[in-house]
Amino acid sequence: MIKFRQYGRLAAASFIALAIVACSKTDKTDKAADILQFVPADTPYVFAALEPTPQDLYDKLEPVFNQMMDTYGQVIETAIAAEMGKLPEDSEKRAEVEKTSAVVDELMSMMSLEGLRGAGIDRESLFVMYGNGLLPVVRIRLTDPELFDSAIERVEEKAEQGMSTAEIDGQPYRFVDLDELKIVLGTFGDYAVVTLMPSSFDDKQLRQMLGLEKPAESIASSGRISAVAEEFGFTKHMVAIIDSNRLASIFLDEPTGLNADLLAIADYDAGALGDVCREEIRSLVGIAPRVVMGYTRIDDEQLDSTMVIELRDDIATGLATLPANVPGLGEDQGGLLSFGMGFNLQAVRSFYEARLDALEADPYECEQFADMQNGVAKGREILNQPVPPIVYDIRGFMAVVDELDGLDFASKRPPENVEASVVLAVDNASALVQLGAMFSPEIAALNLQPDGKAVQFSPRQLGGQVDDAYLALGENALAISVGASAESKVSKLLDAGSATPPPFMSMTMDAARYYTLIGDAMMTESDNNEGELPLQTREALRDMMVNIGSIYERIVFDVRFTARGVEVDTVLTLGD
């Protein structure tokens, strides 16, 4: 049976998601500082949207977002209808499902930009999610708190049951009791606040969670978000910080404030670890002390974002030696999809060996790391295994799929036309071909030379299904292409330059075609129909994938190892 607390969780989660989507226009300087005054300066994590979404971008995304939400609503409706069809008319569970359907309908009516505006969340709204200690708090600046309260009341009416209510300092709030925890939801001044906290917290602790008692020092006065934005080139449309050291210190040091209250409830004793374990855990956490994320460009043509996992200097320096140049890697090759990696296997071995040396020179003594320490011997055994020298010549690969014409997942029909290429980067590529020629007369007969010229290839392994296949050999790479344009494509890819600095991993895609393929795959019926989604649901899911694909033109994703650590860059080129 579906309980009302599930409605409360759904409502709270929905408003969190809606706020993230809706954050936008305001006289941001003063109001950004205002919303940040509730965030403790030492918060271990914070996700903040403090700048307006550009007007042109907002207008461009609104119709697509609304259409996507309509489709999502259809997915939920058809799923509920399918569940209803399995239940007797007079069953108690059917009544609960009907009630759930009414609640979902009300929530989905707000899952549009117009619906959000009707709930007091629009272009004037700002958003921040942060940790008051460990405990999460979401704060949304509303244009009209009464509209937000009315939206909650409509959800409660559909559920035919209201959330529990109480007052703090004369101000009402709602809550959903989850036994030892509770979700608290309310409007305070111009803000909606949602938080999760122990049910045993008293009024003083509740005031701190809701911001009725502000922190002694806030993140606004510390300038922490501005410093991160400036250091990494983030706009303030979204800045996120996760501080691993601060999170670890909550458990390793004597807890204070709300953390002390929370850990006392959990009967957690940091002293039980012992000094050695505490310091070794602190050292291990210090390998990746912080994660930051944010937009570096946001307009109606392109959305660029970066995530940086900061690493200790020696680890970052070691990882920076691993990537290797691969033709085409890190450059958008066009087509449907491309994916590749570049790596120096000798550098990988050296990096791994250095980590084993460090563990032997300064072994962990804490029993929590016994398995890790005992793995050093096994690691040495792996390194001592004989490896053919040519393996260390491999530098990575790049695969590009340009066309998959005629592919039909629903009828399980393979593509009628495939245009694709793969390039293998390898030092002394001629030696690799010579090795292959020793085992394959077909390869030997090609008489490949390292001149980059295309040579037609008809491998028997492909069963004659591919007429146009070409190989090309360079000094440090071997490429193969299939399809109508294979002859020109194979040499072009072989000569393609790699991005500078080279990424460790890179992926690009034609978003519209890719998500259309995913949607078509959702229409495929399983052989036994067991657990099969209804046809209407699959059609709605397919439409949703198509809608997502219509937002973007190209998606580019790169992973790089730099002096700062691991950097993940994403570029979303928007469609017209």
Cβ atoms of 23 and 125 within 8 Å: the answer is: yes
Gyration radius (Cα) of the chain, Å? 28
User: What are the tens digits of pLDDT across the range 320-362?
Assistant: 999 999 999 999 988 999 999 999 999 999 999 999 999 999 9
> What is the pTM for the complete model shown?
0.86
- Characterize the bridge pairing of strands 565-574 and 302-310: antiparallel
Among the residues of 86-144, which ranges form H helices?
92-110, 113-118
Tokens 């934005």 map to which residue?
229
Q: Give the pLDDT score at 471.
A: 94
d(CA 211, CA 170): 15
Q: In which residue ranges of the chain is pLDDT below 50?
A: 1-29
d(CA 5, CA 165): 13
User: What are the tens digits of pLDDT across the range 189-218?
Assistant: 999 999 999 999 999 999 999 999 999 999
Between the alpha carbon of residue 113 and those of residues 17, 78, 286, 386, the distances in Å are 12, 23, 42, 61
Residue-range domain boundaries for the chain? 4-228, 337-574
Q: Give the pLDDT score at 27.
A: 39
Our CA dihedral for 84, 86, 91, 97, rounded to 10 degrees, sits at -30
DSSP state letters, 129-172: EEEETTEEEEEEE-S-HHHHHHHHHHHHHHHTSPPEEEEETTEE
Long-range contacts of 25-31 (CB under 8 A, 24+ apart): 25/52, 25/53, 25/55, 25/58, 25/123, 25/124, 26/52, 26/123, 26/124, 26/125, 26/126, 26/141, 28/52, 28/126, 28/236, 31/126, 31/141
Contacts of 320 (CB under 8 A, 6+ apart): 561, 562, 563
* Burial label, 24 (beta-carbon count in 10 A; 0-12, 13-18, 19+): buried
Q: What's the length of the chain?
A: 576
d(CA 148, CA 119): 4
Our CA dihedral for 58, 61, 66, 68, rounded to 10 degrees, sits at -150
Tokens 């010579």 map to which residue?
434
